[in-house]
Amino acid sequence: MTPRDEKRAPERSPAGVIQPDFATLPRKVAEGARPNLVGLTRDGLHAALIEAGTPERQAGMRTAQLWQWIYQRGVSDFSQMTNLSKDYRAMLDRTFEVARPQVVTHQVSADGTRKYLLRIAGGHEVEAVYIPEEDRGTLCVSSQVGCTLTCTFCHTGTQKLVRNLTPAEIVGQILVARDDLDEWPVAGQRPPDRRLISNIVLMGMGEPLYNFEGVRDAMKIAMDNEGFSLSRRRITLSTSGVVPEIPRAGAEIGTLLAISLHATTDEVRNELVPINRKWPIADLLEACRQYPRLSNSERITFEYVMLKGVNDSDADAKRLVKLIAGIPAKINLIPFNPWPGAVHERSDWERIEKFAEIVNRAGYASPVRTPRGEDILAACGQLKSATERARKTRAQIAEEAGLPG
């Protein structure tokens, strides 16, 4: 403690502005109801600090300092934010919190995949999955608790939508994974050349484009240069095809795009991905053609889950390449990941290989996604929270999807 702290003399900023006496400012909120600083946009954080009594002329600098502590250093305890005065830290501590979702369980697969079950406000649970690979480490994050959509092959689709995640809860998944991987830079040490979390995919629970603002604000934080500073080209937003939001995503979020196509005729897609009845394949592909910055280095990923006898014929493969002709694209073939009670089966490997060959011959890279974390039900489309396992009734499914029952 410095003598100045002891006497609580007014602090002077470099510009000569008298600081309010943060030690005696009134307590703003009741214990346990402190607003979380995580997930606020930069403007939001700036406004919150002013509201809490920070002089306007200093708020820009305080915002930058807090931003760095929270997102660059992973610090959540205000008392460790040593470039802020002691009284200011005490005021922050009385007024705000820097909170992450609570980690309920944490499973590690035999292949190194890690799944986090997180508890969020209201007692709901969501999952995030970290997938280490040779050349990258990908964090798969959730955007909603459950999903309003009802794709027949997806475990999340059997869980009712409970609510959208807040930006804090989306960003919180990154914070939790970084904590677990011990990936916060140490002061005075050069950060390692390789990042453990080098990529983010919005492929967990929920439809990101039905939580547009939450996802946008969270990804802005993930991309901010003073924080995690992930390139927008290392983030992929996957959508089942919420066509009217795709141009907005291009303009306001700017990440790469993945489309859950999964079928080559409207007839089959109407069944597998029921949102297709609202926005059919032609509309979806038109929105893709218009997506900004499309190029060979910024291709759209078309995801295609391989379902035995449903969408895996040679004719499907040929139709697929015809459909996407002219769009800078790669095709991601996902062997169906089974879950308890699923009606579909995974296509045989020979079938998947034959399908991939046709796609490859047409000039598309078509990596077959190796199922990861299967032993802990962490693979794509298997996420579903333990507390909300009640299966939807047929009527609920129809109603939520806006379809006739």
Distance CA(400)–CA(378), nearest Å, equals 25
Distance CA(114)–CA(111), nearest Å, equals 9
Q: Is 336 in the site for ligand SAH (CB under 6 A)?
A: yes
Distance CA(12)–CA(25), nearest Å, equals 17
Residues 6 or more apart in contact with residue 111 via CB below 8 angstroms: 372, 373
Residue numbers 194-213 binding ligand SAH by CB under 6 A: 203, 207
337 binds, among ligand SAH, ligand SF4, none (CB under 5 to 8 A by kind): ligand SAH
Nearer to ligand SF4, 42 or 163 (CB): 163
Residue numbers 128-157 binding ligand SAH by CB under 6 A: 151, 153-154
Dihedral sign computed on CA atoms, order 17, 23, 27, 32: positive
The residues annotated as belonging to the active site are 127, 380
What phi-psi label fits residue 56: left (phi over 0), alpha (psi between -120 and 50 degrees) or beta?
Answer: alpha
Residues engaged in binding ligand SF4 (CB under 6 A): 147, 149-151, 154, 156-157, 206-207, 240, 260
The burial class, CB within 10 Å (0-12 / 13-18 / 19+), for 207 is buried
For 93, the 3-state DSSP assignment is helix
336 binds, among ligand SAH, ligand SF4, none (CB under 5 to 8 A by kind): ligand SAH
For 236, the 3-state DSSP assignment is strand
335 membership: H or E segment, kind and range: strand 329-335
What are residue 138's DSSP bridge partners? 131, 199
Q: Is 334 in the site for ligand SAH (CB under 6 A)?
A: yes
Nearer to ligand SAH, 94 or 372 (CB): 372
Neighbours of 44 (CB within 10 A): 15
Nearer to ligand SAH, 84 or 331 (CB): 331
Q: Is 305 in the site for ligand SAH (CB under 6 A)?
A: yes
Q: Is 239 in the site for ligand SAH (CB under 6 A)?
A: yes
Contact characters 370-399, ligand SAH, x per CB under 6 A: ----------xxx-----------------
Nearer to ligand SF4, 144 or 264 (CB): 144
The residues binding ligand SAH (CB under 6 A) are: 151, 153-154, 203, 207, 238-240, 260, 303, 305, 334, 336-337, 380-382
